[in-house]
Chains A and B, each alone.
Chain A
Amino acid sequence: MLTSFIHRFSSPKSFVEVTALFFPYVMFLGFLCLALGWIWGLAFAPEDAIQGNSYRIIFLHVPASIMAQLIYFFMSICALMHLVWRVKLAAYLIKSAAPVGVLITFIALFSGSIWGIPTWGTWWQWDARITSTLILFIMYLGIITLHSSFSNAEKADRLMSILVVVGVVNIPIIKKSVDWWSTLHQPASISISDGASIDPSMLYPLTISILGMALTMIALGILVSKFYILTREKNKKWVQSYV
């Protein structure tokens, strides 16, 4: 029963049609929240007592880092769905989410490196958090490369899903790296179990920025997946009539 439910609601055609309906709203809300969170954080949040104004990179770096991990987590759920229930759409979504993951992980690494110059005196350090995030970036690239290296798309989907499931072990390592090892990287500013360790005047714009980044990445993901699904299924009748 569960299998038939999943298959009925996971056809690529329905996905493209349904997501097209709310894509403009997601994109608009994403840009609006990002603009609000960033303007608030850059201009109105108070200066940090220790780091000075360089801490304002937090309103971009933290949302990007969270999304870099969440996108991989989403891909691992899709990979399980593809491996267990053979859901075709799940494989399409992994392939579409991977480039978005590359983009946002690059932004997280880049913003962290720039932030490191005034704060740590170096743009790079082989510490646990930074190295595990670099591994995540390489994982995203590896997933794309693996899929592109097979001419048989179905086989590529299966192998890509296996690689995604294997690589998910890196996500708790990234999350816990600042607790397990002594690193240059500061501990989490917001934690589900411990709440926020920063002042509300910084927390509110940070929360809005996280929401904005999430919605923006969802919008980009919808756009990429639409392109990928239409390309992959271009010989199907529904694509001809949809276009």
Chain B
Amino acid sequence: MFNFSFTNFYDFLTMDGHGVYVWTVYLVTFALIAVSFLIVRRKLNVFKRKLKNASE
């Protein structure tokens, strides 16, 4: 079950011509999820800082 499905790393990247579709989907999704976490985290920190400054 854990045998590498490709003969080499180049085959893994190209995936018989399907690599461009597969990798695009995974990279875009990873970027969207990561950026979402970062944006919300940043907004939360800015909000906390503003509220702290206002109360001081």
Q: Chain A: residues with CB nearer than 8 A to chain B?
A: 27, 38, 42-47, 52-54, 56-57, 60-61, 64, 103, 106-107, 110-111, 114-115, 117-118, 200-201, 204, 216, 219-220, 223-224, 226-227, 230-231, 234, 239-240, 243
> Closest CB of chain A to B25's CB: distance in Å?
5
Interface size on B, residues (CB 8 A): 32
Interface pairs A-B: 6 shortest CB-CB: A53-B15, A54-B18, A53-B18, A111-B25, A227-B44, A223-B40
B47, A227: Cβ atoms closer than 8 Å: yes
B-side interface mostly = helix
B29, A107: Cβ atoms closer than 8 Å: yes
B32, A103: Cβ atoms closer than 8 Å: yes
Chain A residues, CB < 8 A from B8 = none
A243, B48: Cβ atoms closer than 8 Å: yes
Chain B residues, CB < 8 A from A53 = 15-16, 18-19, 22
The answer, yes or no, to whether B10 is at the interface (CB within 8 Å) is no
A220, B22: Cβ atoms closer than 8 Å: no
- From residue 14 to 41 of chain B, which have CB atoms closer than 8 A to chain A? 15-19, 21-22, 24-26, 28-29, 32-33, 36-37, 40-41
Residue of chain A at shortest CB distance from B12: A43
B5, A243: Cβ atoms closer than 8 Å: no
A184 vs B41: C-alpha distance in the bound complex, in angstroms? 40
> Closest CB of chain B to A198's CB: distance in Å?
14
With beta carbons under 8 angstroms apart, the residue of A117, A223, A239 that contacts B51 is A239
With beta carbons under 8 angstroms apart, the residue of B1, B22, B29, B43 that contacts A56 is B22
A110, B28: Cβ atoms closer than 8 Å: yes
Kindly name the residue among A45, A223, A240 whose own CB sees the greatest number of chain B CB atoms within 10 A: A223
A240, B25: Cβ atoms closer than 8 Å: no
A231 vs B46: C-alpha distance in the bound complex, in angstroms? 11
Chain A residues, CB < 8 A from B4 = 43-44
A230 vs B17: C-alpha distance in the bound complex, in angstroms? 48
> Closest CB of chain A to B56's CB: distance in Å?
11
B25, A115: Cβ atoms closer than 8 Å: yes
A46 vs B6: C-alpha distance in the bound complex, in angstroms? 9
> Closest CB of chain B to A25's CB: distance in Å?
15
Query: A43 with B5: in contact, given A220-B40, A227-B44 (CB under 8 Å)?
Result: yes
Chain B residues, CB < 8 A from A231 = 47
A2 vs B3: C-alpha distance in the bound complex, in angstroms? 54
A223 vs B33: C-alpha distance in the bound complex, in angstroms? 13
